[in-house]
Structure 1
Amino acid sequence: MYKTEITLHINGEERNVYIRNAETLLYVLREEFGLTGAKPGCLNGDCGSCTVDIDGDSMKSCLTLAVEASDKSVTTVEGLKNAAIQTEFIEKFAFQCGYCTPGFIMNCNSLIQKYPDADDTVIKDHLESNICRCTGYQEIEQAIKSALLKGSNGG
């Protein structure tokens, strides 16, 4: 089996790995690096449980080939250190079973970074890419709004 060596910049670290060209970023993160925060859910891009940040954009790692992330900055939930959205998810009880939470946190963190003045419409539109089957989205929206407010006040 032919493998290609690529360099991934994951959570601020440069890492080399040999992969098959068909391997997804989700598979490589979990199986090669033990970063299990990105979760396999639907594996077809619908649920968002596998969301990571690639060069500032939230992306579904189940749809991203690892070779596409070569030489790009990849941040997983493990790479977020005390991000405001993490604290707000806890304070607003924006989770239940927790399986989808890392994907939501990554998507919400991207939203906060890109749209610091996001209104309700932007928030609702942004959340359409992730699915939670346990709870409503009201607490998640509250967590985003609180993180946005704290961000605009200097944290």
Structure 2
Amino acid sequence: MADRVITLSINGAERQIDNDPRQLLVDVVREHLDLKATHIGCLSGDCGACSVIVDGEVRKSCLSLAVSMEGAAVRTLDGWVDDVLVRLQSAFISTNAFQCGFCTSGMLMAAYDLLRRNPCPDTLEIRKAISGNLCRCTGYEPIIQAIQQAIEK
């Protein structure tokens, strides 16, 4: 299958990418653009480690063909500075809401998306927002505490 050039915005910078139409967004982000904060976990949408923000909505990049991102604005954790994200990152550190760190980027994306839509969610809303992300090390309580701490700042 012939490669196709796609144009998209990655973390605010417009990029043209020559890619195979069968290639996943997660592969383009990690392999073509060398942005490693987006992790490859399950390749089936179950773990959430590959979560990115596409046109303002959280999306699992292992379920998205890169070719379908033509003209989209994609955000990863790499090189992105935002007040809400900084609060979340600080709270994750202070509450030890990570151990191996593999799920952390997906959890941060889910939490960011939640706080962008609802700056003061309750615990049930937080649980629902991160429910698409698996954590095998930390458990969910420190992550929920971190998001609650980020709300309070």
Q: TM-score range with shorter-chain normalisation?
A: over 0.9
In percent, how many aligned pairs have the same letter? 43
Whichever residue aligns with residue 48 of structure 2, its letter is G
For residue 62 of structure 1, give the secondary structure of its aligned residue in structure 2. helix
TM-score, L = length of structure 1: 0.93
Q: CA deviation at 1:103?
A: 1.1
Q: Name stretches of at least 5 consecutive residues in structure 1 with no aligned partner.
A: 151-155
Q: 2:19: which partner in 1? A: 19
Alignment of 1:87-126 (within 5 A): 87-126=90-129
Question: CA separation in 2, counterparts of 1:6 and 1:130?
Answer: 29
What CA deviation, in whole Å up to 9, does each residue of 1:109-142 have, x standing for no partner?
Answer: 1111111121111111111100000121111101
Whichever residue aligns with residue 43 of structure 2, its letter is L
Q: CA deviation at 1:147?
A: 1.1
Alignment of 1:2-151 (within 5 A): 2-81=2-81, 83=85, 84-150=87-153
Question: CA separation in 2, counterparts of 1:50 and 1:109?
Answer: 14
- Single out whichever of 82-91 and 20-29 deviates more from structure 2: 82-91
Whichever residue aligns with residue 2 of structure 2, its letter is Y
4+ runs deviating over 2 angstroms: none
Q: Name stretches of at least 5 consecutive residues in structure 2 with no aligned partner.
A: none
TM-score, L = length of structure 2: 0.94
Question: CA separation in 1, counterparts of 2:79 and 2:129?
Answer: 21
Number of residue-to-residue matches in the alignment: 150
